[in-house]
Amino acid sequence: MVAHRRWLVTGGLGFIGSAFVRLVLRERADVAVTVLDSMTYAGNPANVAEVAHDHRYSFVRGDIADAARVDAAIGEGVDAIVNFAAETHVDRSILEPEAFIRTDVLGTHVLLEAVRRHKISRYLQVSTDEVYGDVEHGASRETDPIRPRSPYAASKAGGDLQVLAYHTTFETPVLITRGSNTYGPYQYPEKLIPLFITNLVEGERVPVYGDGLQVRDWLHVDDHARGIAHVLEQGTPGEVYNLAGGNSRTNLEITKELIRLAGRSYDDSVRHVTDRPGHDRRYALDAAKAHALGWSPSVGFATGLAETVAWYHQREDWWRPIKSGDFREYYRRQYALR
């Protein structure tokens, strides 16, 4: 089939962005995808290797904060922009917040201006449950105030506020999704689940922050990507949609399950380390609005986690080069003093 829609996917070489690119090229025969990605440490061409030869796939290297590169990627026009490009790791935002402001705030602004200039008919901002801040009880709804508490969450909230302001002021056709903690194949091994899986393979201990009783809600990356595509096509401009996994677990529960799947013992595997400064205790999302729109997650957590562990076991060729490069220096800076 000839593609008669073209979507610009910024950050399409990252974890969730690449899952979205693979999904769209697999399931939407009439859509062509252009990826714009600056290939920072987390942007990896190997993440889209299985679709890179599809004639509907094209790639432009560039930063979303660089208007000329954004224009080059838009070319003669696109039907939609889906913005996955972001600095995403909370711990890195504590060490070096500036890159977060540049990409998550300024980059979002540059994209919104491009949407206006090129009269693009849809813009979707991929955001996060972290903008709601720490949620002691209950679950965040889209109408709740945002109370970001880390430099990362504040930069994402800054992006979200601009997106909504452009809708109010210029009637820019925007949508926002706010996803919960995401896991699955191709996740850069700085995040809890892939870090712990790969440390266990390497015979290293896993660093649990504080008491490990913080709660996160886990969403499989394929469900997250499907949710974003669904909101892009079915959502109402100007609206925010929460995408929740429905799998709330403490970090210790996750840790114990990963140790069990690795066939190791708790005492030989865990290192309790100093807590993350300002660590949010709990996130929880109410996703009733996205459910009413027709999306719900389909990957069961036990299956999804076991398959993710199996993927990292099979794809040492993917993660070992990452962990032996600049990652070593990052890991030392992040964990040595804990």
CB nearer ligand DAU, residue 31 or residue 206: 206
Alpha carbons 211 and 317: distance in angstroms, whole number:
33
Q: How many helices, marked H, and strands, marked E, lie in the chain?
A: 14, 12
Let me know if 152 is a catalytic residue.
yes
Range in contact with ligand DAU (rule: CB under 6 A) among 84-92, 108-116, 141-149, 229-237: 84-92
User: Residue 103: how many CA atoms within 13 Å on its side-chain side?
Assistant: 26
Catalytic residue among 63, 87, 104, 129: 129
Size of the site for ligand DAU (CB under 6 A): 19
The dihedral through the CA atoms of 308, 309, 311, 312 has a sign that is: positive
Among 18, 125, 128, 247, binds ligand DAU (CB under 6 A): 128
Catalytic residue among 87, 104, 130, 217: 130
CB of 176 to ligand DAU, least distance (A): 13
Range in contact with ligand DAU (rule: CB under 6 A) among 21-29, 141-149, 189-197, 238-246: 189-197
CA distances from 31 to 23, 80, 126, 190 (A): 11, 11, 19, 32
Alpha carbons 130 and 178: distance in angstroms, whole number:
8
Q: Does 199 bind ligand DAU (CB under 6 A)?
A: no
Alpha carbons 197 and 299: distance in angstroms, whole number:
19
Residues contacting 135, CB < 8 A, separation 6+: 282, 283, 284
Let me know if 335 is a catalytic residue.
no
Alpha carbons 174 and 116: distance in angstroms, whole number:
11
Range in contact with ligand DAU (rule: CB under 6 A) among 82-90, 161-169, 223-231, 321-329: 82-90
CB nearer ligand DAU, residue 318 or residue 335: 335
Q: Which helix (H) or strand (E) holds 181?
A: strand 181-183
The site map against ligand DAU for 129-168 (x = CB under 6 A) is xx--------------------------------------
Q: Look at the block and give the residue holding tokens 């009783």.
A: 213
Range in contact with ligand DAU (rule: CB under 6 A) among 62-70, 108-116, 128-136, 290-298: 128-136
Let me know if 326 is a catalytic residue.
no
- Site residues, ligand DAU (CB under 6 A): 88-90, 128-130, 180-181, 191-192, 195, 207-209, 214, 216, 251, 276, 283
Q: Which residues are catalytic?
A: 129-130, 152
